[in-house]
Amino acid sequence: MNDADLDALIPGLIKKARDAREKAYCPYSNFKVGAALLCEDGSIFTGCNVENASYGLCMCAERVSIANAVSAGHRQFTALILVCDVPYFIGSCGMCRQVMAEFGFDWYLVMTTPGINNDWKKVTIKELLPYGFGPISLDDSKGQKENIQSNE
């Protein structure tokens, strides 16, 4: 999908993310977050944050949307739209950035601001997680191990 086609879809995806945000389960933080994940084939999966009394088990909206997509058989993503109430552009937490990087560095996170203006800004996962570690890092390290062993 080219940039112009993606940009044209973003307002509708923001609406889906806002609808998902309304389903957030966040009795501890009261910080509602919604996500809408556009897959390469055009499928859309949403997510909201799901908190837990055992705080470390809280799940972010981004990861919930990715889990929804993967569990339906999707692994190729185009953009993840993120909505929350922070009045400026803000990216995902570090854990979510790493989970996004599992599925490549050349797709987009779309940050938004609240309100009716539909202001948004898209960044690649590579921009979101510079020098990021991903599946290819494991492959690349295997080659290095062989080089080290052959030098011994």
- Binding span for Zn ion by CB under 5 A among 15-23, 35-43, 59-67, 107-115: 59-67
Burial (CB count <10 Å: 0-12, 13-18, 19+), residue 124: middle
For the bound state, the minimum distance from the C-beta of residue 19 to Zn ion, rounded and expressed in Å, comes to: 19
Q: Which is nearer to Zn ion, 39 or 66 (CB)?
A: 66
How far is it, in rounded angstroms, from Cα 101 to Cα 133?
Answer: 7
How far is it, in rounded angstroms, from Cα 94 to Cα 38?
Answer: 21
Alpha-carbon torsion 129, 6, 32, 88, what sign? Answer: positive
Q: Is 61 in the site for Zn ion (CB under 5 A)?
A: no
Q: Which is nearer to Zn ion, 1 or 93 (CB)?
A: 93
Q: Which is nearer to Zn ion, 12 or 104 (CB)?
A: 104
Residue 152 among the catalytic residues: no
Grouping H, G, I as helix, E, B as strand and the rest as coil, residue 116 is coil
Q: Is 96 annotated as a binding residue?
A: yes
Q: Is 50 annotated as a binding residue?
A: yes
Binding-site residues for substrate sit at: 49-55
Q: Which residues bind Zn ion (CB under 5 A)?
A: 60, 92-93, 96
